[in-house]
Amino acid sequence: MSTPPPSEGPPTADPGGTGTPPPLGDRLGKVLTTRAIAMAGLLLVIIAFGTLWLLLALFGGGTSADQARLEVFRATSNVVLGAGGAVALLLAARRQRLAELELRRKEQELAQRERTQDHVERVAADSRAHQVRLAEDASLDAIERRITELYTKAADQLGSTTAAVRLAGLYALERLAQNTPTQRQTIVNLLCAYLRMPYTLPSVRTLPPWSSLSITETRPDAAEAPRRRDDGSDHASTQELEVRGTAQRILADHLYPGDDPHEVRSEYWPDIKLNLTGALLCHFDLRACRIGNVRFGGARFAGWTRFENVRFDGHSIFGGATFERSANFKGARFQEVALFRGVRFHSSAAFENARFHGGALFGGERTIDGVAHLDGAVFHGSASFAGAEFAGDVDLAHARVSGENHDHVWPDGWKLSPDGDAPVERTLVFAR
């Protein structure tokens, strides 16, 4: 018969089965109960009475020997009482230490509960922040999808064969750009790309009498323009002229900061760049607008063109552009270089009171494949630079003026000299 293995030690009291010993106060309460204290007190009283009876019985004779033995017993009793007092003091000190240990344990438990509560609160706060981020990301994704859908739909409308649908697409893009500042430059780029698309002006007979586009006699290529048949294309071209005019008006309206220099209009789109290289622009009007970099290289400005009081904050490139009617740059401010090389002004060009803070290049020459090419502006009408201010260099070398019946005002230091290379008509070039 096998015997059970010996126990490793006395079992630990754990009523709850959690493996944690009971509190120190509970353990003390099981040792020093009220009944135990009462029994100990009764035992002390019995011992006191027994001792008194024993002393009276042994030393009650009153002899000298009894007196001596009584003194010895009294001294011994004092020693015993002193030892008992020392034991009581030790017990009191032990009890005080146990109480301090219990207090320290409770403080540690309280600190642990506080740390646990802080951890729970941090976890809850992180969870809430994560949920908020997820909600924000979902909202941004929804907004981006909505913007993409609106942009795609409006861009598709621009490709419609119906003018009304194209106009609706333009206004949808304008509203989207107004409500979404981060998309403004992208939408402006799309409008500029639309204006750069190939386009043929309608015939003179379909234009209203007030339109300067109907005056073609002054165009150098008017006599060479082929006559078009009335096959319905003029009607579509006239409608497209209205669509393109609407695109130009949208740009002009949102590039105008307002009359108050201290407060801009809510409709103003700042820091916008324009790229209208090679575009056909009809009655182009950007009066009092403020723009960043602009590129009009090779553009054709049909009808009058107005750039009065425009502020060009970036570089301004007009090289190779053609102005078929008057070009008005009065009071314009060019913050960086203004390039007008190879520009043809078929009518008047007004730069009165314009300010050029960078270089103003109306002439010069370029080297292409190692060959020098004269690249100067051509003024067919009157040119006026009265009151213009130039902070940098102004270059009119190789610029030309055709005709002699116009009143011109040139920048200081420039004058006209005869050019023997143009025997057909009297053409003048600039010289210092």
Do 317 and 339 contact (CB within 8 A), yes or no? yes
pLDDT in tens, 14-63: 554 555 555 555 554 455 567 776 787 777 768 766 776 776 666 666 67
Check residues 280 and 21 and name the one with the higher pLDDT: 280
pLDDT in tens, 359-415: 888 876 666 676 666 677 888 888 888 887 777 778 787 788 876 656 788 888 887
The tokens describing 47, both together, are 């011992």
Check residues 201 and 80 and name the one with the higher pLDDT: 201
Please give the average per-residue pLDDT across 252-257, as a whole number.
96
Rounded (to 5) percent helix, strand, coil in the chain? 45, 15, 40
Please give the average per-residue pLDDT across 279-283, as a whole number.
95
Amino acid at 128: R
Lowest-confidence region among 53-57, 113-117, 270-274, 423-427:
423-427
Please give the average per-residue pLDDT across 120-127, as a whole number.
92
Please give the average per-residue pLDDT across 215-226, as a whole number.
43
Q: What is the pLDDT of residue 234?
A: 77
Amino acid at 81: L
Check residues 180 and 83 and name the one with the higher pLDDT: 180
pLDDT in tens, 304-355: 999 999 999 999 999 999 999 999 999 999 999 999 988 999 888 999 999 9
Q: Is the pLDDT of residue 226 over 60?
A: no
The tokens describing 391, both together, are 């902070």
CB contact burial 129-168 (16+ within 10 A = b; e otherwise): eeeeeeeeeeeeeeeeeeeeebbeebbebbeeeebeebbb
The tokens describing 49, both together, are 């009475």
| DSSP bridge pairs for 409 | 384
Q: Is the pLDDT of residue 71 over 50?
A: yes
Enter the pTM of the model.
0.65
Check residues 425 and 100 and name the one with the higher pLDDT: 100
CA dist., res. 210 & res. 202, Å (int): 15
Lowest-confidence region among 169-173, 278-282, 407-411:
407-411
In this structure, the chain runs to a length of 432
Q: What is the pLDDT of residue 426?
A: 42
Amino acid at 156: D
| Highest mean pLDDT, choosing among 72-76, 176-180, 409-413, 423-427 | 176-180
Do 297 and 317 contact (CB within 8 A), yes or no? yes
Q: What is the pLDDT of residue 307?
A: 97
Q: What is the pLDDT of residue 227?
A: 44
Amino acid at 290: R
Do 305 and 276 contact (CB within 8 A), yes or no? no
Q: Is the pLDDT of residue 432 over 80?
A: no
Q: What percentage of residues in the chain have a pLDDT greater than 70? A: 75
pLDDT in tens, 184-193: 999 999 999 9
Check residues 154 and 209 and name the one with the higher pLDDT: 154
Do 51 and 76 contact (CB within 8 A), yes or no? no
- How confident is residue 423, by pLDDT bands cut at 50, 70 and 90? very low
The tokens describing 211, both together, are 């339109």
CA dist., res. 432 & res. 424, Å (int): 25
Look at strands 378-379 and 371-374 and give their pairing: unpaired
Nearest Cα residue to 299 out of 317, 316, 321: 321
The tokens describing 208, both together, are 């209203």
How far is residue 316 from each of residues 149, 167, 268, 304, 310, measured CA to CA in Å? Answer: 34, 29, 20, 19, 11
Look at strands 383-384 and 294-295 and give their pairing: unpaired
CA dist., res. 227 & res. 225, Å (int): 6
Eight-state DSSP code of residue 429: E
Q: Is the pLDDT of residue 303 over 80?
A: yes
How far is residue 360 from each of residues 44, 161, 295, 319, 406, measured CA to CA in Å? Answer: 121, 42, 15, 12, 23
CA dist., res. 83 & res. 12, Å (int): 34
Q: What is the pLDDT of residue 173?
A: 93
The tokens describing 215, both together, are 């005056």
Phi, psi of 239 (to 5 degrees): -65, -40
- What is the DSSP track for 344-373? EESS-EE-TT-EESS-EES--EEEETTEEE
